[in-house]
Amino acid sequence: MGVESPPSFRGLLPIKLEQVRRWLNSSRIAGGDPTASRGFLTPEEFQQELVVLGLSDRQFGSKEYASALGKHLGLSVSIDIVPDATHPLLSRELARKGVTGEIRYRADLARAQIIVPGSLPPLALIFTVLHELGHLAAGDLFVDTCQASLLCLESPAFPTLEVPNERRLAQRAPFAQPVDREHEADLRAGYAFVAGCLGSENPYAQRMYDIL
Amino acid sequence: MNTFQEQSLVLALVCLVASLFFLGVTRSSRSTWFSGVITMNLVALAIIFGTFAAVEMNGERAEIAAALVSELPFEAVVSCLCVAQAGYLPLRTGAPPLAVVAARPKLRLLLASAGVVLPGAWVLAATFGFVWPSSAVQALAPAPLESVIFKWTLMVPAMLFAGLAAILFLKAARSDSLDTRLRFKNAAFAFATFCLALVALESAMFAGARAWLPGDLRVAITSSLLTVETCLAIACVAAFLLGLALRYTPAIAVPTVRHVATRWLPEQDRFDSHRWHAVVGGVARGVVIASYRIGAAANRLGLSRLETERAVGTVQHIAAIRNGVCDAAKVTPQRARDLHVLQSEVVKDAELISKLDKIESHDLMSRFGAVHAASLHVELEAALALMGDVSTNSNGHDDQPLWFYLAAVGASDVGLIDERRTTTILDNKMRHNEVLRAYTEAVTSSRDGSYHP
């Protein structure tokens, strides 16, 4: 895993401003807003990610999201829906492992492959694909959990790991703890699902045109 | 009263009247953080210009101080606009950046730098002004070069930042997918910010005219520029007022969207995934058998495909909840009841649920939509009712449809619910017997191999 070089002053200013904002937010949140008190992805941040992908204000499905994400990260992202009738063992194996889908990444081919069984209920199918894409967007696939020495504590509660910016869409580094990464992938999937359905009617997209 | 005092009086009156309008805005539901900023600025400007109109400035350093104080609210507004466009204001509520800025980090950085550059320019101008004082607030009198440098140090950065902010608001207003009201709102802010840039330009030109134009021409030009300044100030305030008055309320509320994205969808996914694990992984024994028999019995009863799916889905829900009891982190009766409440809230929002259909045409494999969401709710409700975890309709089970009876019989057949409970909760004996007969025939047919679905 590569380690980022120290950011220049130009790169440091927005980070510092963001830290001030988060510090002020956290001091407010400590007063009693439980939903935002944790350092997880907010819908506003997700909407900014959609702007970067060119999907804000647009209706989109998981295929469009995967395509835009792959283009941004310089990867080929494929979604393979496994027909259970012809591959029942794969579905059964996934079910017994307690997972509904998998993402496989090949660095040498610059390719990510999402595998989900076709027999999943419709919502779970879409959500699983978006969840796996959420891991890709967060840079979770590039986390090297073995290198504990690279742990940097962004906050005492939610430590993060360094992943180069070009390997993720997320503004912030991925979480060190797998449970936190899973939770954030769920959040990203939920935001993506709703944003994809609502398109330009998404109030978070509209708020970016109503800043004053 | 000299020309500067007359001009100050005019501007004080403009600011006073405008601040009254803005006070009205801040006391209404249309109040935002920016309306508060503008109101405070206008009140401050009214007091500052009122003081200048009443008190004659004596000495060049006093004039420099007066000019600096009068420009402070202007610089503050331009800084706030730029920093807000970059997404760093208001600090406490974490507002997003302007959409046209969000994907351009360098532009965001440039806009954010207004929060440092403009106060820096003000301090630099103050230092220069006090070291090399000049007549900064004389309206028509000739001025030395120091006055131009002082004024330009203040005004040129403000003009550039205001011009940039105006262009960005204009780009936002031209976005194709934008609601008309938001389009007008951004256009109004673009116009107001453009007026701010013109005020700064006018102020810089005013200083230049005083320094370099001869006699009568100087008087004529500077007098015209003062009139232009007043007109621009009025236009700017009116445009900001219009922009703030055009309040936009989204068709789907933010809390609803947050609720769906962060609570209902993850919980529904957890439940559906667990249901799938239980059925496909073969953990929930009997579900496949019951599903097969329900399908056959539904054919005999003449049930529609949707009704059959609901009966099978109900049995799967019961199996998932029963199976989840072993793993409290996944699905428990309590979590199922919580999910049922979440579903109720979502399903009754017709506007929102109709939007879920839109994903169908955009997704490679999705069949998810309003009908499916409603089915999930109905199936879970039926499962909870059969397990005795939630009451059904007020009239009891008597008015339940045939598929509910079929699900009850199927679940009891494979031991997912107690048979005695089935006979207790299915009030309509005639309907119960009809379903039981069809189900028994389906079981018999499947055993002797005569049934072919």
Report pLDDT digits (tens) over A102-120: 888 888 888 899 988 888 8
pLDDT digits (tens, 9 = 90+) for B58-72: 888 888 998 899 899
In this predicted structure, the answer to whether residue B359 has a pLDDT above a threshold of 70 is no
Query: Does residue A170 belong to any structural domain of this protein?
Result: yes
State percent of chain B over pLDDT 70.
88
Band of residue A27 on the pLDDT scale cut at 50, 70, 90: very low
Q: In sequence order, which residues have a C-beta less than 8 Å from that of residue B281 and are 6 or more positions away?
A: A92, A95, A96
Band of residue B271 on the pLDDT scale cut at 50, 70, 90: confident
Q: What pLDDT score was predicted for residue A50?
A: 93
Mean pLDDT of B272-281: 78
Q: What are the chain B neighbours of A115 within 8 Å (beta carbons)?
A: none
Contact in structure between B178 and A209 (CB atoms under 8 Å) = yes
**What would the two tokens of residue A152 be?**
């940097």
Using a CB–CB cutoff of 8 Å, tell me whether B329 touches chain A.
no
Q: What pLDDT score was predicted for residue B452?
A: 46
Q: How many helices (H) and strands (E) does chain A have?
A: 7, 5
- Measured CA to CA in angstroms, residue B79 lies from B96, B125, B147 at distances of 17, 16, 23
Q: What pLDDT score was predicted for residue B362?
A: 47
Domains of chain B: which residue ranges?
Answer: 3-245, 254-448
Contact criterion met (CB < 8 Å) for A28 and B260: no
Mutate to test the interface with A, among B113, B262, B354 (most CBs of A within 10 A): B262
In this predicted structure, the answer to whether residue B358 has a pLDDT above a threshold of 70 is no
CA distance B29 to B247: 9
CA nearest to A114, candidates A77, A150, A145: A77
Residue type, B396: G
Query: Does residue A147 belong to any structural domain of this protein?
Result: yes
Q: What are the chain A neighbours of B265 within 8 Å (beta carbons)?
A: 123, 127, 189-190, 193-194
pTM (2 d.p.): 0.77
Query: Does residue A51 belong to any structural domain of this protein?
Result: yes
Contact criterion met (CB < 8 Å) for B269 and A124: yes
Q: What pLDDT score was predicted for residue B391?
A: 56
User: What is the CA angle A65-A25-B26, rounded to 5?
Assistant: 100
Q: What pLDDT score was predicted for residue B373?
A: 66
**What would the two tokens of residue B95 be?**
């507002």
Q: What pLDDT score was predicted for residue B163?
A: 96
Query: Does residue A11 belong to any structural domain of this protein?
Result: no
**For B3-245, CATH number?**
1.20.1070
Band of residue B8 on the pLDDT scale cut at 50, 70, 90: confident
Q: What pLDDT score was predicted for residue B23?
A: 84
pLDDT digits (tens, 9 = 90+) for B88-110: 887 766 678 998 898 888 999 99
When mean pLDDT is compared over A27-36, A177-186, B88-97, B144-153, the highest value belongs to: B144-153
Query: Does residue A143 belong to any structural domain of this protein?
Result: yes
Q: What is the ipTM of this complex?
A: 0.77
Number of domains observed in the structure of chain A:
1
Contact in structure between A125 and A91 (CB atoms under 8 Å) = no
Lowest mean pLDDT segment, chosen from A6-15, A37-46, B250-259: A6-15
Lowest mean pLDDT segment, chosen from A128-132, B85-89, B211-215, B385-389: B385-389
pLDDT digits (tens, 9 = 90+) for B282-327: 666 678 888 888 888 888 888 888 888 888 888 888 888 877 655 5
Band of residue A36 on the pLDDT scale cut at 50, 70, 90: very low
* Residues forming a β-bridge with A80: A115
**Which residue among B102, B105, B275 sits closest to A121, beta carbon to beta carbon?**
B275
Q: What pLDDT score was predicted for residue B81?
A: 94
Q: Residue A33's CB: how many other CB atoms inside 10 A?
A: 10
Mean pLDDT of B227-231: 90
In this predicted structure, the answer to whether residue A91 has a pLDDT above a threshold of 70 is yes
**What would the two tokens of residue B358 be?**
């839109």
Q: What pLDDT score was predicted for residue B369?
A: 55
Q: What pLDDT score was predicted for residue B245?
A: 86
Shortest CA gap B339–chain A (Å):
14
Q: What are the chain B neighbours of A130 within 8 Å (beta carbons)?
A: none
Contact criterion met (CB < 8 Å) for A92 and B268: no
Arithmetic mean of pLDDT over chain B = 83
Band of residue B47 on the pLDDT scale cut at 50, 70, 90: very high
